[in-house]
Structure 1
Amino acid sequence: MAVRARWVNEERRSRWLVLIPVALIAVITVVDIRSPTSIHLGPLLVIAPALTPSLAGPRATAAIGALAVAAQVCIAVLHGGLTTSNHLAQIAALTVLSVLIVLLTVVRERRRRQLERAQSVSEAAQRALLRPMPERIGAFQVACRYLAAEHETQIGGDLYTATRADHTTRLLIGDVRGKGLAAVGEAALLLSAFRLNAAHQPGLPDLATVLDTHVRRYLVDFAATGDETGEHFITALLLDLPDGKPVAHLTNCGHPPPLLLRPGRDPEPVGSDTAPPLGASLLPADAHTCTTVPLDAGDTLLLYTDGVIEARDGSGAFYPLDQRVTRWSQCPPAVLVAHLSRDLLAHAGGRLGDDAALVAVHRTVP
């Protein structure tokens, strides 16, 4: 697991850093012994065990604490006498403080392990929900990036997936209204429904109607548990990308329109005709429509969630995606989403207020 690997790497690096408190103990001991008897530097030894928890675990902290106490005893023997009241008080105080520091380190390690387990579960859930899309699907290169608003979590209400049908690729990107486990549950429901039905529906409007039915049924069942669902809905964008035709079919359900990136032209929003979000309200049978846009070889469609365009900088200005994307519009999909992700985080000061997802779809040259 990635979380465990990070912890292991940190522990390996911390083994060398433990030499810092050891060196402090050695320096303080030597200087104190060589100083006049009226000068007492022994109390500074507490710095070593106090510093160790930030570098290592309970065992190393206990060892450094014991070494500090041993150094204080050595100072007492060689610098005024072990039985003096001053030295006895220093030894006792250092011992008590070292024990307290070790106990606090044990508590910290327990919480760290709990966090590690929670992050491992989070990563497993993320992989189950948002399975990484292949770099190439049919006639298209694809790249995606998920940016979680919370640093300690990797799942939320943003979602994307793709599947193959007969000589075409169908892709979904969506954003669940709401947060927490309820949003994760709705995202899982929509992803599962899409994967089961995407290849069996004749057109995107039919697929959107089926997905809306699944979401609505879920919300009705969810309401029976007593949870509030009045504000729960899912914005979604469906794409149908045929292999042999230079077009893209789009059905938009309340989602931000994608940007069409073409060589030598400014980014252009497409598929802006939208139906209400999935699960938002009762819809007539013809509520979902399909828009067809040209998508020639060399063109790229950039899909995103509202966490991208609603990210604010320190002055409160939204992220100008249509302006920033022009810098890298001719880059391969993986490079494009990587640059946009870094630029988005820089704009937001390193922390997003909402989850954000980016998906770039590039039609390759035949």
Structure 2
Amino acid sequence: MTTAEHEEGRLVLSWLPVVVMAVVTVVDLTAGPGVGFLPLVSLGPAFAGLIGSWRRTASYGVAALLLCVALGTYDGLFDTRRGYTAMASVAGVTLAGVIAAGMRGRREAELASVRSIAEVAQRVLLRPVPRTAGPLQVAVSYTSAVAEARIGGDLYEVVASPYGVRVIVGDVQGKGLAAVETAALVLGAFREAAHDEPDLVALAARLERSAAREANGEKFVTAVLAEVRAEERTAVLLNCGHPAPMLVHSDGAVDFPRPPDYALPLGLGVHGGEPPRSFRVDFAPGDQLLLYTDGVTEARDADGTFFPLNERAGLLKNPEAEAALEALREDVVRHSSGPLHDDAAMLLLRYR
């Protein structure tokens, strides 16, 4: 549900108690006391308790009681037990609504507190990347597959190190808090090692050791590392079982540079396999390098067709990197025709 639809729903619910009590009043005055509509006045405070505070619910309850007394007197119901029964019904529903509204208010306050803590956790785990780093203009996008979630198993970071601008985009196996914990471990190791290790192979080995200690051969992280130096018109890439990045040249040509050999995902080094090898690609002024997770390319439409990333490279023509990446993100969401089935992270490097 979109924000506009949510607000529209709340507006309807806020007016529903007034409408219900007005309808009951009209029907009671029209049909007379024989129909027995008077107890339905209690629907007013009942609906008020769905979204309003306990004070708002209590005020509607008082209004319903006064309306019940007025209609009951008009209909002559207080000569029998029917009038008192209707008042008892309204009072009981109002009391239940006030209690429910109070409990809901406390839960909403607790949820707001949890969300504020989650936002702090997001800033610690996925810190805002610099808009510029060396010769690069940087933009990032993260769309979680979990409703209301701000963080998940995808990770990214940009570090301006003594060896150039270093970047990582990765995807942790699994979901939930365990994936977030693993992502935090890998990001922490990357932020430290990016300043110390002289090349991407040594950096990847450092990340492998950190991930292996945590994963114990059972969990893994696919990742792609990139390094761009100001004095060179090339980018160094190292791919650990991750989707190949998309390289968009200044003339509009699109390429997906693949490594000579894929390295095992981080955390699976205990199973052997070839050691990671870095490779170079041309990366000159005007070029763009998009690193992403498989939540982007595996987004499917209603017919089950995967998102055609290579055909959407034209969306990155916007002069502003953030606007260009947002246009691509919106296109991914439109293509999926609903919530994404996996987290989708994108990081755009634009050589200025």
- Fold shared per TM-score above 0.5: yes
Residue in structure 1 matched with residue 239 of structure 2 by the alignment: 252
Residue in structure 2 matched with residue 350 of structure 1 by the alignment: 338
In 2, distance between residues paired with 1:267 and 1:288? Answer: 25
Residue in structure 1 matched with residue 304 of structure 2 by the alignment: 316
Of residues 194-203 and 75-84 in structure 1, the stretch that sits farther from structure 2 once superposed is 75-84
Equivalent of 1:292 in 280, 294, 306 = 280
Pair 1:234-2:182 in alignment: no
Give matches, 1:15-30, under 5 Å.
18=14, 21-22=17-18, 24-25=20-21, 28-29=24-25
Matched to 1:49, the amino acid is P
Pair 1:280-2:268 in alignment: yes
Residue in structure 1 matched with residue 316 of structure 2 by the alignment: 329
Residue in structure 1 matched with residue 349 of structure 2 by the alignment: 361
Q: Secondary structure at the match of 2:124?
A: helix
In 1, distance between residues paired with 2:272 and 2:341? Answer: 35
In 2, distance between residues paired with 1:46 and 1:298? Answer: 68
The one-character-per-residue Cα deviations of 1:206-226 (angstroms, maximum 9, x if unpaired) are 111111111112234xxxxxx
Q: Secondary structure at the match of 1:292?
A: strand
Matched to 1:58, the amino acid is W
Matched to 2:225, the amino acid is L
Are the aligned partners of 1:15 and 1:56 in contact in 2 as well (CA < 8 Å)?
no
Give matches, 1:183-198, under 5 Å.
183-198=179-194
Of residues 338-347 and 143-152 in structure 1, the stretch that sits farther from structure 2 once superposed is 338-347
Matched to 2:241, the amino acid is G
Change (3 A) 1:100 1:289: same
Residue segments in structure 1 that go unaligned for 5+ positions in a row: 1-5, 221-228
Give matches, 1:75-224, under 5 Å.
75-166=71-162, 168-220=164-216
In 1, distance between residues paired with 2:12 and 2:105? Answer: 19
Are the aligned partners of 2:238 and 2:259 in contact in 1 as well (CA < 8 Å)?
no
Task: Work out the percentage of aligned pairs sharing the same amino acid.
Answer: 35
Q: Secondary structure at the match of 1:329?
A: helix
Aligned residues between the structures: 345
How many Å apart are 1:15 and its aligned residue?
Answer: 9.6
Residue segments in structure 2 that go unaligned for 5+ positions in a row: none
In 1, distance between residues paired with 2:215 and 2:70? Answer: 71
Change (3 A) 1:17 1:179: closer
Of residues 248-257 and 260-269 in structure 1, the stretch that sits farther from structure 2 once superposed is 260-269
Q: Secondary structure at the match of 2:348?
A: strand
Matched to 1:245, the amino acid is E
